[in-house]
Amino acid sequence: MNAPIYKQALGADFSRLQPELQEYFSLVPGSGRYGVGEGTFDVVGCRQSWLRPLMRLTSSEEAFFPEYGENVPFRIENHAHLDPFGRSSLTARREIRFTGRTRMFQDTTSVNQRSDLQEQGEGKKPSGGTPLVDYVGRCRRMVTDLNLSVTPEGRLRGVSEASRLFLGPLRIPLPSALDAKAYAEQWWDPAEGPAGRHRIQVKVIQPQIGLVLVYAGSFDYRLRPYTGGSSAQSFLPRYAQPDRWENRT
């Protein structure tokens, strides 16, 4: 099924998104194009100074980072592709340009075919659309389930549910008392700038600590053709590929 993964996940609700969001989330493998967004985060990073040394320990994973700033420029690339296991996926690569240092944050969101097949094998009809899972960081050691919905205004809301860590052969579900959830909302703001802009707001909250990470800002977005015009469904530029892929969910 060569439909955008967010359309697969939302089903009929995809048509309730703002038209600009439908366009943003409509990349498919083999299109020969990728998305580029550039803008400014009003706020981004870890606000709690006491927590930043711990965040620094995980910064090499390119998932969390210890800096915090305001009015920070950033760039995002979206690449739709089939992953090495044949799953329709969307890989996002973000450059956050703090003063004196650029931090990377990357992830791959994939269609959870295994969950879908398990439900069908049990004779159950999946509720809503096809489930998605999000692999975070350059080594894809963490995966979370994504719960997506559309607001009455046509905004996209996403909540990361149960998270798991992959450490070698071990698959370690994080207990709810330790797990951090990400709450995201994205929308098109016609009043932002002379022609309107995309806006995004994300908060990562851990029940024992509180707010771990936040980023909120606006950006312009456009599609670009791949150099060489590659239209292979599995194509993903080498610089956007993770250090390792993970098939487990």
The confidence score (pLDDT) of residue 114 equals 65
User: Is residue 79 in some structural domain?
Assistant: yes
User: Is residue 239 in some structural domain?
Assistant: no
Taking alpha carbons only, the member of 45, 99, 28, 30 closest to residue 217 is 45
How large a percentage of the chain has pLDDT more than 70?
Answer: 94
Q: Where are the beta strands (DSSP E) in the chain?
A: 33-45, 68-82, 88-98, 101-111, 132-136, 142-150, 156-167, 170-173, 181-189, 197-206, 210-225
User: Is residue 17 in some structural domain?
Assistant: yes
User: Is residue 244 in some structural domain?
Assistant: no
Taking alpha carbons only, the member of 122, 88, 79 closest to residue 225 is 79
Instruction: Name the band, by pLDDT with cuts 50, 70 and 90, for residue 122.
Output: very low
Q: What is the CATH number of the domain that holds 164?
A: 2.40.128
User: Is residue 205 in some structural domain?
Assistant: yes
- The DSSP bridge partners found for residue 214 are 45, 203
User: Is residue 246 in some structural domain?
Assistant: no
Which pair of tokens denotes residue 120? Answer: 């069908």
User: Is residue 238 in some structural domain?
Assistant: no
Query: Strand 101-111 relative to strand 132-136: parallel, antiparallel, unpaired?
Result: antiparallel
Instruction: Name the band, by pLDDT with cuts 50, 70 and 90, for residue 17.
Output: very high
Higher pLDDT, 53 or 11: 11
Taking alpha carbons only, the member of 200, 202, 248 closest to residue 220 is 200
Q: How far apart are CA 41 and CA 19, in angstroms?
A: 23
Number of domains the chain contains: 1
User: Is residue 93 in some structural domain?
Assistant: yes
- The DSSP bridge partners found for residue 224 are 34
pLDDT tens, 41-89? 999 999 988 888 888 887 888 988 999 999 999 999 999 999 999 999 9
Taking alpha carbons only, the member of 249, 242, 222, 248 closest to residue 81 is 242
Residue 164 and residue 25 in contact, taking contact as beta carbons nearer than 8 Å: no
The confidence score (pLDDT) of residue 60 equals 85
Query: Any idea what DSSP says for residue 190?
Result: T
The confidence score (pLDDT) of residue 128 equals 58
Domain that holds residue 186: 5-228
Average pLDDT over residues 102-121: 74
> Containing H/E element for 182?
strand 181-189
Q: How far apart are CA 104 and CA 55, in angstroms?
A: 14
